[in-house]
Structure 1
Amino acid sequence: MIGRACLATAFFMLAALATPAQADMSIACRVPEALLAFDAELKRVEDLVDRSQPVRILRFRPSQEQGPRRSIDTPTLERELARRLPDVIFTIIEARPQPGGAESDFAQIRSLLDIVDPDLVIWQVGTGDALAATNPADFADTLEEAADWIEGRDVDLVLVDPPFVPDVPYEMRYHQIVQQIDAISLRDKMNVVNQYDVTRYLLNRAARTPGTTLQSLSTQLATSTTCMPELMAEAIVRAATR
């Protein structure tokens, strides 16, 4: 993954988002290519996709990150994966962790892996720790231990970091947690969907649009959440088919 400083620069340099590589994506959800790139292979998923075999996904999605109410037109991860790889059956098991942080998530993951037997774990991590003001170093230690344990079970792992939430007093906590995820992923070549940078990018793009109001920025924040299934599917499929 490219460093966060480099990504921030890319936000303002990459004005032309309608690239051929993202031609099948919703215009509102298009982001710089750097935000769709993983550092490592998804070896187990890639092997299954190559043989058109079913893929089982365990998705940890905290209640704080559920986003707006789903409608028939709202993209889902299942639908977006199937649209990109119609010959592969994706089964997604949703897990809703109890309120808490990475440590409690890890305990639940350990108990579920034998039951679910997933090929891929998608772990949206960090929001609970940011809200609980967990010590960033303790969070990093737990995340590294959990990632090592999951990958040691021959299961692919994709992390999703917290969203960018503007104009709230605890935003710095989010930033500190995201920095820890960024540092670990750079050092250990872990795959991360950068929800924080995606949200910030889409909000910054909306803010530069003439006639933008606070109401339209609020709408854009909801849109950025709605974009996440599409962006996750795009990043996963790219990694599994490269």
Structure 2
Amino acid sequence: MAILVFAGPASADDTLCRTEGPVFAAQGALNALASKLSGHKPIQILAIGSSSTEGIGASAPQLSYPAQLENDLTGLWNEKVTVINAGRGGETAVQTIDRLQAALTTSKFDLVIWQVGTNDAVNGVDEGRFREILERGISAAKTAGVDMILLDQQYFPTIKDPARYETFVKTVSTVGSERKVSVFSRYALMKQWNDHSASDLRGMLSADGFHMGDRGYDCLASLIAQELQTMAADSIAGAEPLSKTVASARRR
């Protein structure tokens, strides 16, 4: 396979995307995506989940994270990239799973980014049931031969039961590690912003103080794009970064 030369970094303001610790666990390889890039073929990505995928909090649909990710990846790879936004506000994993399985059987995607778990954690979903649904979705993607990345729960300052909430965050991390599915931790990213300065986090949120706003979605898309760029290059070169945890912004 030819090794592609990728363009420069995504465009989000570095000061907005500051991280001080690991927020991405690269596990396995993006073989389907790498194959398409090597052949200079169009890339199709499914972004599925709830309101953070739909783009609630963004001032316009083109400022949701999937739309901005499409722009970032098109610039990075100089290839046609389409990111389908299949976000539906308010859904729990049990509601999303049927849509995910249907999408995997009716369309051919090169990557699925599954944003999952916030509504489950805050709405009293059983932890065991949540894990079961995660396993089911991962199995569906593997059966379809589609690469997957899990995008875990958001952090917000008014979490009512932090211990329960963090149990759900840990479940995403644990299942990802066990099944060799990469995990991008919004929880870690947003908590780092808050730990650095409460005003940093507020600047990333919309007026509701819960969902990301335009700046937050811009940063999220940029960091995901950087990690996909790195993983795709590693996969094309034949290097499989198993259980390699890296800091998304490389401590800029």
**Which residue is 1:238 aligned to?**
230
Unaligned runs of 5+ in 2: 1-7, 206-212, 235-252
Q: Does 1:68 align with 2:55?
A: no
Which of 73, 76, 93 pairs up with 1:81? 73
User: 2:98 matched to which residue of 1?
Assistant: 107
Out of 169-178 and 115-124, give the one that drifted further. 169-178
CA apart distance, 1:26: 2.5
Aligned residue for 2:28, secondary structure, equals coil
Equivalent position SS for 2:230: helix
Provide the C-alpha distance between the structure 1 equivalents of 2:13 and 2:89, rounded to a whole number of angstroms: 33
Greater relative contact order (Cα 8 A, min sep 6): structure 1 or 2?
A: 2
The residue number in structure 2 matching 1:26 is 13
Question: Match of 2:41, as an amino acid?
Answer: Q
Paired residue secondary structure (2:88): coil
| Bigger fraction of residues in helix | 1
With over 3 angstroms needed to count, the CA separation of the structure-2 counterparts of 1:175 and 1:186, relative to structure 1, is same
Matched, 1:184 2:162: no
Match of residue 174, structure 1, among 137, 158, 165:
165
Counterpart Cα distance in 1 of 2:61 and 2:34: 31
Alignment map for 1:155-174 (pairs within 5 Å)? 155-174=146-165
| TM-score for the superposition, normalised by structure 2 | 0.75
Give the structure 2 partner of residue 219 of structure 1: 203
Q: CA RMSD, aligned part only?
A: 2.6
Which stretch has the larger CA shift, 124-133 or 223-232? 223-232
1:55 match:
43
Residue pair 1:199, 1:225 contacting (<8 A) in 2 also: no
**Displacement, 1:109?**
1.0
Q: In 2, are the aligned partners of 1:37 and 1:239 still within 8 Å (CA)? A: no
Matches of 1:168 and 1:183, distance apart in 2: 21
Gapped regions of structure 1 (runs ≥ 5) = 1-20
Q: Contact (CA 8 Å) 1:206, 1:220: kept in 2 or not? A: no
Read off the aligned partner of 2:38 and give its amino acid letter: D
- Indicate conservation of the 8 Å contact 1:199/1:224, yes or no: no
**TM-aligned CA distance change 1:77 to 1:126, over 3 Å:** same
CA contact (8 A) 1:198 1:224 kept: no
Deviation at 1:74, TM superposition (A): 8.0
Q: Which residue of 2 aligns with 1:4?
A: none
Quick one: distance in 1 between partners of 2:223 and 2:136?
27
Q: Normalising by the residue count of structure 1, what TM-score does the alignment of the two structures yield?
A: 0.78
Question: 3-state SS of the aligned residue for 1:165?
Answer: coil
Tell me how far apart the structure 2 counterparts of residues 32 and 189 of structure 1 sit (CA, whole Å): 24
Superposed CA offset, 1:185-229 (max 9, x none): 22222111111101111222224xxxx5xxx64224444443111
Change (3 A) 1:24 1:218: closer
> Counterpart amino acid of 2:17?
C
